[in-house]
Amino acid sequence: MTQNLARILDEAERLSVAEREELADRLVESLVRDIPPEIQRAHITEVRRRMAEVASGEVSLVSGDEAMQRVRQLVESSRARS
């Protein structure tokens, strides 16, 4: 991490929750603008495919908490194998 990035991160961590949320939203938006059109199209196609799977009952949704728990378990098991 560069010194400039470390300074910005340090300052960002002192912001209120609402300010950090706005900063995060703006950073994500800035990244989205840099995604090539072909990748954006592929992403939209994938989202539509997944929505169709849910609508047809082929797959079911899980809560955000459950999804994060599954991700944490995968990360931990991956670290244990390393």
> pLDDT (tens digit, 0 to 9) for every residue of the chain, 82 residues total?
899 999 999 999 999 999 999 999 999 999 988 999 999 999 999 999 999 999 999 999 999 999 999 999 999 998 888 7
- According to the model, what pLDDT value does residue 3 have? 96
- According to the model, what pLDDT value does residue 82 have? 77
pTM of the entire structure? 0.54
- According to the model, what pLDDT value does residue 38 have? 96
Q: Which helix (H) or strand (E) holds 22?
A: helix 17-33
- According to the model, what pLDDT value does residue 53 have? 97
- According to the model, what pLDDT value does residue 44 have? 95
End-to-end alpha-carbon separation of the chain, Å?
24
| Contact between 23 and 15 (Cβ < 8 Å) | yes
Which residue type occupies 6?
A: A
